[in-house]
Structure 1
Amino acid sequence: MINRLIKIAAIGVLAATAFSTSSFAADYPNKDIRMIIPWGAGGGTDGIVRKLSTIAEKELGTSIYAENIEGGVSATGVLEVMKARPDGYTLGSLTYDSVVTVPWQGLLPTYKLDKLKLIARVTSEPDALIIASDAPYKSVADLVKAAKENPGKIKIAIQNTGSRLHLAMLQFEKLTGTDFKLIAYPGGAAPQKEAILSKEVQVAATSLGDFSSLIESGDVKGLVEFSDSRNPTYKDVPTAKEEGIDLQIGSFIVLAAPAKTPDDVVAKIEAAYKAALDSDEFQTWVAKVGVAPNWLGTADVTNWANDTKETLFKQMQTLVDQGVIKK
């Protein structure tokens, strides 16, 4: 009799849980949604995620407010997403460093990507070298020549030490036989912009999209993009392939939620951001900032992220074995 009562109670609990989850998903959203951006305000990731979220909130019928949480090569902000209640009211944006750099370096033992449910990849963009408009370099060949004549003297602003951009510049030095003075400006592209404008440096390594406002104002210009095809927005910037440099590397933006967020809730978020990405408003806006929309939905994005991570892990281990970088 007791066992029978226990079984009935267990069935009741399961039914109530299923009902509450279903009801929750049907009612979602009924309050504001927090979107964590793990980089500083004013950078490329910040601008893109804010713009998409502003359009997506119209689809969801509620406000999506952005919160910049910097630190740990994006790990600090992403950890906040991992620890958040899985109810769809805390979301996050991941970049290359969130998916590759932090796990590879083992910066935080509690940082595991399986604590997240990836929703979609929304953009991808190559890295580039960007120079101040009054810099003396007319081409990447000029920059390489000057670096060989002045080893260790020419300053290039990267972001975090050990980040993707650091890796890109180490590869660039190896491929061109140069030695630059790489200066880290943690916190995304915003501090790099300040470094260029204050004339601390004349060269920065990041994406063209990150510096779109300064390119538009004429303060800077693209020197080379680490890609094999020209940017549809900045068609005058040559590719690394055209310059005879075998280097292709860049970033992306992936949206995520805590791992146990209900599938129905994730589906609503995915649909809202897909509609935002496809909207005329976003497509018109993004065409001016040099970033390529590159959608990959919930069904495929996790496998893509895992494959990308493993491929890059192997490439970085090769550089470790060659003595180019240290882990």
Structure 2
Amino acid sequence: MHTNHWLGSPGLGAAMMAVVATTTISTTDASAQMYPLRPVTMVVPFAAGGPSDTAARILSEGMRVPLGQSIVVENVVGAAGSIGVGRVARAAPDGYTLSFGHWSTHVVNGAVYPLQYDLLKDFEPISLLPSNPMLIVSKSAVPATDLNELIMWLKANEDKASAGTSGPGSGSHIAALYFQRITGTQFRFVPYRGTGPALQDLMAGHIDLVVDQVSNSLPHARRGLLKAFAVTAKTRLASAPDIPTVDEAGAPGLHLEIWYGLWAPKGTPKDVIARINSAVVKALADPAVRQRFSELGMDVPPRDQQTPEALAAHHQSEIEKWWPLIKAANITVN
């Protein structure tokens, strides 16, 4: 009878198992050390030139050196960002396709759209990123010098006044809805493929109002191409101390902040997530990167909030906070 002697020998068996275990660990370590072997794609679910695109390009450039590869920003637009996020949900979980999104794409859309993916279960959190309040801006021709005068003008012109948005349920749409509710105004919504195109039409005088992220609208307001009335924050911006808060200007309680985050498809290896997170942390610690975000009115989260766990917790709490409010507003997608 043939006997497999090494199986019967405790010493040899243990040695062989140790070899197998060591090989497995080495392979895992090697995968972490080898990643990334090629450029990484960061999917931005909005148009080029908008606030998300701008923030993503600042971050991706800051991550390039610590990650050891270039990061290609890919703009995948449509359905208030849900098409781009869905592309990442279906991507291979290998760390080469990442979802750059924010409060609107990863919270609001779940309450507005019948999504083909689960915002919490189908993604691996990587890091919480800088946040941005909104700025209430109008075209230059609006005859108002402060927010109270703007509200009076809107009430007098509610049959023809219009506000640009990034689509139903977008941050700009939710913010404008809150603006209407708090100020008692009415105006029609004009959806765009992103707030970049909406601002272009605002500056051209085709629409009257946009409630947009500071990072996107402040540069135009500084150049005198738009009128800025108030920020949707509790305190004035260090980058624009001359612009009052909504509480000071006449729309108390209109507080809204767009926080950003970075996610990977569900099932992406933890060592790869850790590698990407490390690159994000190093980028957010870079003085040049921090300065660029600051110039856009964006606040970098504290170091202890830049972990996958912190993003997961914040994401969950924001969904619990906002979904009931948004669903109660009966926002329809058409």
Distance in 2 separating the partners of 1:115 and 1:143: 43
**For each residue in 1:87-138, what CA deviation from the matched residue of structure 2 results, as whole angstroms up to 9, or x when unmatched?**
1111120112222222112422334431111111111111221123343111
Distance in 1 separating the partners of 2:57 and 2:122: 24
Distance in 1 separating the partners of 2:261 and 2:332: 27
1:57 to partner: Cα distance: 0.7
Paired position in structure 1 for 2:309: 299
Distance 1:13 1:292, change over 3 A: same
1:205 aligns with 2:215: no
Contact 1:208/1:222 (8 A) holds in 2:
no
Paired position in structure 1 for 2:28: 21
Q: Given the alignment, which residue of 132, 135, 140 partners 1:128?
A: 135
Paired position in structure 2 for 1:167: 174
How many residues of Structure 1 are paired with residues of Structure 2 in the alignment? Answer: 320
Runs (5+) with no aligned partner, structure 1: none
Distance in 2 separating the partners of 1:13 and 1:260: 24
Which 10-residue stretch deviates more, 241-250 or 119-128?
241-250
Paired position in structure 1 for 2:237: 231
**For each residue in 1:146-190, what CA deviation from the matched residue of structure 2 results, as whole angstroms up to 9, or x when unmatched?**
1222223222212212323222222221221211222212x2221
1:326 to partner: Cα distance: 5.4
Paired position in structure 2 for 1:313: 323
Larger Rg: 2
Amino acid in the other structure paired with 2:314: W
TM-score (norm 1): 0.89
Distance in 1 separating the partners of 2:190 and 2:21: 56
Distance in 1 separating the partners of 2:179 and 2:225: 24
SS in 2 for 1:125: strand
Amino acid in the other structure paired with 1:86: P
Contact 2:129/2:262 (8 A) holds in 1:
yes
Contact 1:158/1:182 (8 A) holds in 2:
yes
**For each residue in 1:270-307, what CA deviation from the matched residue of structure 2 results, as whole angstroms up to 9, or x when unmatched?**
11111111111112222221222225221211011011
Contact 2:125/2:308 (8 A) holds in 1:
yes
Contact 2:146/2:249 (8 A) holds in 1:
no
Distance in 2 separating the partners of 1:184 and 1:76: 16
Paired position in structure 2 for 1:180: 187
**For each residue in 1:190-234, what CA deviation from the matched residue of structure 2 results, as whole angstroms up to 9, or x when unmatched?**
111221122102321111211233234321232111121111111
Paired position in structure 1 for 2:255: 248
Distance 1:259 1:15, change over 3 A: farther
Distance in 2 separating the partners of 1:171 and 1:216: 25
SS in 2 for 1:242: helix
TM-score (norm 2): 0.87
Contact 2:108/2:326 (8 A) holds in 1:
no
Distance in 2 separating the partners of 1:277 and 1:23: 27
Distance in 2 separating the partners of 1:72 and 1:179: 24
Note the aligned Cα RMSD (angstroms): 2.6
Distance in 1 separating the partners of 2:301 and 2:283: 13
Amino acid in the other structure paired with 2:106: V
**For each residue in 1:58-89, what CA deviation from the matched residue of structure 2 results, as whole angstroms up to 9, or x when unmatched?**
11111111111111211111112111111111
SS in 1 for 2:172: helix
Identical-pair percentage? 26
Distance 1:145 1:13, change over 3 A: farther
Query: What does residue range 1-327 of structure 1 map to in structure 2 within 5 Å?
Result: 18-185=25-192, 187-244=193-250, 245-295=252-302, 296=305, 297-320=307-330, 325=331
Distance in 1 separating the partners of 2:241 and 2:213: 14
Distance 1:132 1:13, change over 3 A: farther
Distance 1:45 1:312, change over 3 A: same
1:29 to partner: Cα distance: 1.7
1:248 to partner: Cα distance: 0.8
SS in 1 for 2:64: helix
Distance 1:12 1:103, change over 3 A: farther
